[in-house]
């Protein structure tokens, strides 16, 4: 059996009309492109998408790159932890949280441009710091409903109760 991901690394991928990406890994089922979403979204015409569903990083809580390092190694992907939004390594200082808010505003404002008016945006997040009212307002999204769900020991490192919010938003 061929080594996973070696066969088609670097192949041109045109899964998004008008955008050419270099696939980091691809199979007959699809392709994985490791890119900066802000850079890709900036290349797309307005109103390209009908819906966004996302679970953005939690500021200062989880080291996603370390948690998924095996995937980077297995697929031979470049480590881009310096580009991560809200990494645990930056902590939860006022400055780190402010940087997270600014980064998330940029992400959602950019995504907003790619969505038709009234398009749904579903965000799964732990908003215990209540950052998302500002993020949504500044990025042009309107909260329609907030659903709270219990998550039991998501990372295995948490002994107590943990809850996430599902923010049901629309483009304003």
Q: Which two tokens stand for residue 2?
A: 């061929």
Helix (H, G, I), strand (E, B) or coil at 101: helix
Q: How confident is the model at residue 114 (pLDDT cuts 50, 70, 90)?
A: confident
Residue recorded with tokens 């966004």:
52
Helices (H), 42-127: 64-67, 69-75, 94-113
Taken in order 18, 24, 26, 29, the sign of the CA dihedral is negative
Q: How confident is the model at residue 1 (pLDDT cuts 50, 70, 90)?
A: very low
Tell me the pLDDT tens digit for each residue of 64-101.
Answer: 888 888 887 887 777 878 888 998 889 999 999 999 99
pLDDT: which is higher, 78 or 141: 141
Tell me the pLDDT tens digit for each residue of 7-33.
Answer: 344 444 455 666 666 666 677 777 666
Q: How many CB atoms lie within 10 A of CB 59?
A: 27
Rounded CA separation 156/77 (Å): 26
> What residue ranges define each of the domains in the chain, with the CATH number in brackets?
1-33 (no CATH), 34-171 (3.40.50.150)
């Amino acid at each position: 059996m061929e080594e996973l991901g070696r066969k088609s690394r670097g192949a041109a991928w045109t899964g998004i009309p008008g955008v050419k990406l270099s696939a980091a890994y691809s199979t007959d089922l699809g392709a994985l492109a490791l890119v900066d979403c802000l850079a890709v979204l900036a290349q797309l015409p307005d109103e390209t998408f009908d819906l966004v569903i996302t679970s953005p990083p939690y500021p200062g809580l989880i080291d996603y790159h370390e948690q998924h390092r095996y995937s980077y190694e297995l697929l031979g992907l470049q480590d881009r932890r310096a580009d991560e939004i809200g990494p645990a390594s930056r902590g939860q200082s006022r400055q780190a949280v402010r940087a997270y808010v600014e980064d998330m505003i940029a992400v959602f404002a950019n995504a907003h441009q790619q969505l038709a008016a009234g398009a749904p945006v579903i965000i799964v997040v732990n908003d215990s710091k209540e950052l998302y009212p500002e993020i949504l307002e500044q990025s042009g999204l309107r909260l329609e409903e907030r659903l709270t769900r219990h998550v039991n020991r998501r990372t295995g490192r948490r002994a107590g109760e943990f809850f996430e919010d599902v923010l049901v938003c629309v483009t304003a």
